[in-house]
């Protein structure tokens, strides 16, 4: 929540981020200008500063709505993903949580035995950094990218034709290719820019505070942005008012405090209270996101996903968002009433201290917070990428344990991404068909010899079907069940024709 208010003023490279960044800096300048002239304007000046703050939020939300309109024109694929993710969960949730937890635990234990805890954690964090960078480019959450990489094969190549039409499979495959392309580009950025400064600028451009709410669906993002901004500002104002009211009651008891020291002490204490509110609001946002993920993954459980079902889901989302917006409006109205009452009843000195502390926190959240986040993320990414990580690991493909050799590269088994229940089974060979005896190599090479009459010819496994995996391309000893059974008269005529000629 705290990131939604302050838009970074350093991310002026993107057109969509320029308006919110300029508005954040304009708010800081207007509040400081108002606080500097508040002593000479009398009691009416704090209300004027309040109108400036309201005007800023109107401009901020207008810029956010304009950005959402632009994203609706360019980001249709993202809305398609959010509309189809519920139906994908209906397929994924067929596996019990105990089975998924057991498979994840077994994989972690194998990785820990082969590499140790430090190597396993390092590789996981490196893959997380690359996926987070790709998710920020796609304006998705990292969990969405991980879901698409791990479960898209299972959903796309599902054997249940009644649940998935060809169009839905094509849409899912197109989405996965788009995510894989973003992960590949992010991986190339991290590999081709190994220095700390280069990684710092990569994270600074992508991990911006105003992009935190953009990971939601396009249907709800504009409303969620407005609600989060209003709730965040109202909470900051309310906590600041309560703190300064308590500080005003306790400070007159200490007569040794000078006026300047009381001013500085009030500003520093207000900054501390704002940072505490930021931590609390961030924890509440993470908790709320976890609840949404837990409930959203089990919200839609039907096989058919047609236009009528999608429309009903959209209307359901809008009703939930309107209820949430109503609660936010009541909360913001109560906080605004408390702030207006404090501004009207406080003196010029108290109002100046309160506004300066609030504006300083806005500046810190707009400028210093993304700088610190980018620096920590670049240091962590540099430490994780020291040992090196393959592209297959970032794409979610399981990689064999590494062998420390000069010319050895990790090999990825993309076939193991598919679930065992959903993958097509191997064809069964009936025992009634006779086996073909082995023939010498010279006889097998000749066109007319080496073929026993009345027996089916030998078929290579790697040529028979793409569903059957064969690593060494061995020759089958038994024929395939779906092939044409041998006819002695027909086979005899086919073999004798070239010999007689």
Phi then psi dihedrals of residue 412, to 5 deg: -100, 135
What are the boundaries of each domain within the chain?
Answer: 2-394, 424-501
Contact (Cβ atoms closer than 8 angstroms) between residue 393 and residue 34: no
Q: Is 412 helix (H, G, I), strand (E, B) or coil?
A: strand
Q: For residue 137, name the pLDDT band (cuts at 50, 70, 90).
A: confident
Higher confidence at residue 153 or residue 281? 281
Contacts of 219 (CB under 8 A, 6+ apart): 79, 82, 314, 317, 318
- Mean pLDDT score, 428-439: 46
Higher confidence at residue 91 or residue 422? 91
- List 399's β-bridge partners, or say none: 412
Contact (Cβ atoms closer than 8 angstroms) between residue 343 and residue 31: no
Helix-helix angle 45-74:348-363, to 10 degrees: 20
- Mean pLDDT score, 319-343: 74
**Lowest mean per-residue pLDDT among 7-16, 67-76, 247-256, 301-310:** 7-16
Q: Which residue has the tokens 């809008």?
A: 318
For residue 3, what are the CA distances in angstroms to 134, 201, 365?
20, 19, 7
Nearest to 417 by CA among 394, 440, 398: 398
Q: Is 256 helix (H, G, I), strand (E, B) or coil?
A: coil
pTM for this entry: 0.45
Q: For residue 243, name the pLDDT band (cuts at 50, 70, 90).
A: confident
- Mean pLDDT score, 341-349: 68
Contacts of 162 (CB under 8 A, 6+ apart): 303
């Amino acid at each position: 929540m705290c990131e939604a208010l302050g838009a970074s003023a350093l991310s002026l490279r993107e057109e969509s981020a320029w308006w919110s960044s300029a508005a954040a800096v304009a708010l800081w300048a207007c509040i400081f200008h108002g606080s500097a002239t508040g002593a000479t304007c009398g009691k009416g000046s704090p209300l004027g500063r309040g109108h400036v703050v309201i005007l800023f939020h109107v401009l901020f939300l207008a810029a956010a709505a304009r950005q959402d309109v632009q994203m609706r024109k360019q980001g249709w694929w993202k809305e398609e993903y959010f509309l189809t993710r519920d139906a994908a969960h209906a397929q994924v949730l067929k596996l019990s949580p105990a089975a998924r937890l057991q498979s994840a635990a077994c994989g972690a234990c194998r990785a820990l035995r082969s590499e140790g805890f430090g190597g396993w954690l390092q590789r996981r964090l490196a893959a997380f950094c690359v996926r987070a960078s790709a998710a920020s480019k796609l304006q998705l959450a990292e969990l969405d990218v991980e879901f698409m990489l791990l479960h898209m094969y299972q959903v796309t190549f599902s054997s249940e034709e009644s649940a998935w039409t060809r169009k839905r499979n094509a849409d899912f495959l197109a989405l996965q290719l788009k995510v894989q392309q973003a992960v590949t580009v992010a991986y190339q950025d991290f590999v081709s820019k190994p220095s700390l400064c280069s990684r710092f600028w990569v994270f600074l451009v992508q991990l911006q505070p105003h992009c935190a709410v953009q990971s939601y669906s396009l249907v709800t993002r504009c409303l969620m942005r407005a609600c989060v901004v209003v709730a965040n500002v109202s909470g900051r104002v309310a906590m600041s008012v309560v703190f300064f009211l308590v500080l005003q009651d306790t400070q007159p008891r200490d007569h040794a405090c000078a006026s300047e020291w009381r001013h500085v002490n009030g500003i520093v204490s207000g900054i501390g209270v704002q940072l505490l509110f930021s931590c609390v609001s961030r924890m509440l946002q993470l908790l709320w996101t976890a609840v949404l993920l837990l409930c959203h993954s089990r919200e839609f459980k039907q096989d058919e996903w047609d236009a009528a079902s999608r429309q009903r889901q959209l209307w359901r989302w809008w009703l939930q968002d309107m209820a949430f917006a109503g609660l936010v409006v009541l909360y913001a109205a109560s906080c605004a009433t408390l702030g207006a009452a404090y501004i009207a009843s406080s003196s010029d000195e108290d109002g100046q201290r309160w506004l300066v502390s609030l504006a300083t926190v806005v500046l810190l959240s707009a400028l210093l917070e993304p700088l610190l986040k980018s620096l920590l993320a670049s240091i962590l990414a540099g430490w994780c990428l020291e040992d090196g990580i393959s592209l297959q690991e970032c794409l979610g493909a399981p990689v064999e344990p590494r062998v420390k050799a000069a010319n050895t590269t990790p090999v990825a088994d993309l076939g193991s991404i598919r679930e065992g229940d959903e993958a097509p089974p191997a064809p069964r060979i009936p025992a009634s068909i006779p086996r073909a005896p082995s023939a010498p190599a010279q006889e097998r090479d000749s066109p007319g010899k080496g073929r026993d009459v009345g027996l089916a010819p030998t078929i290579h496994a790697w040529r028979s079907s793409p569903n059957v995996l064969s690593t060494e391309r061995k020759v089958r000893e038994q024929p395939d069940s779906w092939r044409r059974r041998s006819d002695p008269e027909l086979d005899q005529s086919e073999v004798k024709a070239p010999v007689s000629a």
